[in-house]
Amino acid sequence: MNSNHIDGKAVAARLREDVALTIASLSVTPTLAVVLVGDDPASQVYVGNKVKFSQAVGMNSVERRLPAETTEADVVETVRALNADPDVDGILVQLPLPAHIDSDRVIAEIDPDKDVDGLTEISAGRLSLGKPGLRPCTPTGCVILAKEALGDLSGKHCVIIGRSILVGKPAALLFLQQNCTVTVAHSRTDNLPVVCRGADILVSAVGRPNMVKGDWIKAGACVIDVGINRVADASRKSGSRLVGDVDFAEAEPVAGAITPVPGGVGPMTIACLLRNTVLAACARRDLPVPDGLSI
């Protein structure tokens, strides 16, 4: 890997090691529960990876696999049962849910103290108010990777392209907590390339392949590419390949540090999920935040 590449796989592996060491030092074993409804192939893979990694770090794993025709009421009841289970520390409902189920209603049922995806309104409110709580995994991973490249982020100008509730908005708040000056840009931003060129840290989370060009980036900037987009590629056996929101070939020579796609932000999401489960287990038992898991 080139010297200016931020190796998300390596950083995620170190975080998982810290999680495993923390679990070994605790008097209880944290438990992560995953709810999967239906048989979406991608969701099956994601859930399988989450279970595999949770067990690898010494965590208990609980799966609730429900058929696609399960009613919304039954999914809600499953979540409520996990809320009431004192042995369960973290609950994750794998999205997307089947079309007949209101995802917002199901997510709203998760106990915020067990909301390891950081998706409930209470979790979002705690983040907005700067109160303790569980933070969304992908934005947390972005902050960790930026700190891996730059160290202290205080005073850095962070530009985030994208204002989604899953990445853009929580990322803005998390970088603010690191004492960055934050600009949130989006599809209606005037002179978007000019805005981006002012960034010490540029985070792109828009889902548009190769949108961010090399001349959008300030020389030496840290570029965090959250985008995962599949594009046609006749040279590949599969007929396609994954690319980010950033035109990597153009951006790589300009950036001081840059995440590749794949292998950048992606591996951090599950690692941060495991971290959140340990943090939830400690918070529920009034245990201090382990040093190795602080950001």
- Cα dist. 279→30, 119, 171 in Å? 9, 16, 19
Helix 266-284 with 137-150: angle, nearest 10 deg: 110
For residue 230, what are its two tokens?
């599949």
Do 230 and 159 fall within a single domain?
Answer: yes
Q: What is the tally of structural domains in the chain?
A: 2
Do 102 and 179 fall within a single domain?
Answer: no
Q: How far apart are CA 135 and CA 137, in angstroms?
A: 6
Do 94 and 144 fall within a single domain?
Answer: no
Helix 266-284 with 41-56: angle, nearest 10 deg: 60
Residue 291 lies inside a defined structural domain of this protein: no
**What backbone torsions phi and psi does residue 158 show, to the nearest 5 degrees?**
-105, 120
**What backbone torsions phi and psi does residue 155 show, to the nearest 5 degrees?**
85, -10
| C-beta separation of 290 from 278 below 8 A | yes
The CATH number of residue 200's host domain is 3.40.50.720
Residue 205 lies inside a defined structural domain of this protein: yes
Do 99 and 156 fall within a single domain?
Answer: no
User: Which of these three, 58, 82, 117, is where a domain ends?
Assistant: 117
Radius of gyration of the chain, Cα coordinates, nearest whole angstrom: 19
Residue 278 lies inside a defined structural domain of this protein: no
Do 54 and 155 fall within a single domain?
Answer: no
Do 171 and 251 fall within a single domain?
Answer: yes
Residue 21 lies inside a defined structural domain of this protein: no
Q: How far apart are CA 132 and CA 79, in angstroms?
A: 23
Name the nearest CA neighbour of 280 among 104, 59, 55.
Answer: 59
The CATH number of residue 36's host domain is 3.40.50.10860
- Chain centroid to Cα 58, Å, comes to 21
Q: What residue numbers does the annotated binding site for NADP(+) cover? A: 162-164, 228
Q: How far apart are CA 151 and CA 27, in angstroms?
A: 32
Residues in CB range of 122: below 8 A, 6 or more apart: 112, 115, 133
SS3 state at 272: helix
For residue 274, what are its two tokens?
């495991």
Q: How far apart are CA 14 and CA 7, in angstroms?
A: 11
Do 99 and 162 fall within a single domain?
Answer: no
Residue 124 lies inside a defined structural domain of this protein: no
* Active centre residues (catalytic): 50, 94, 117
User: Which of these three, 87, 117, 147, is where a domain ends?
Assistant: 117
Residue 44 lies inside a defined structural domain of this protein: yes
User: Which of these three, 59, 83, 117, is where a domain ends?
Assistant: 117
> Chunked in runs of 10, what are the mean pLDDT values of the chain (295 residues)?
92 97 94 95 88 95 96 98 98 96 98 97 97 97 98 98 96 98 96 98 97 98 95 89 95 98 96 97 90 84
| C-beta separation of 114 from 88 below 8 A | yes
Supply the pLDDT for residue 294: 86
Residue 287 lies inside a defined structural domain of this protein: no
Exposed (0-12), middle (13-18) or buried (19+): which is 182, by Cβ within 10 Å?
buried
Q: How far apart are CA 176 and CA 194, in angstroms?
A: 21
Do 150 and 112 fall within a single domain?
Answer: no
Do 218 and 187 fall within a single domain?
Answer: yes
Do 215 and 247 fall within a single domain?
Answer: yes
Q: What angle do CA 219, 221, 223 make, to 5 degrees?
A: 125
Which range marks the domain in which residue 176 is found? 137-265
- Chain centroid to Cα 252, Å, comes to 23
Max Cα-Cα span within the chain: 55
Is the Cα dihedral 250, 255, 260, 261 positive or negative? negative
Do 142 and 100 fall within a single domain?
Answer: no
Do 109 and 146 fall within a single domain?
Answer: no
Residue 228 lies inside a defined structural domain of this protein: yes
Q: How far apart are CA 279 and CA 133, in angstroms?
A: 9
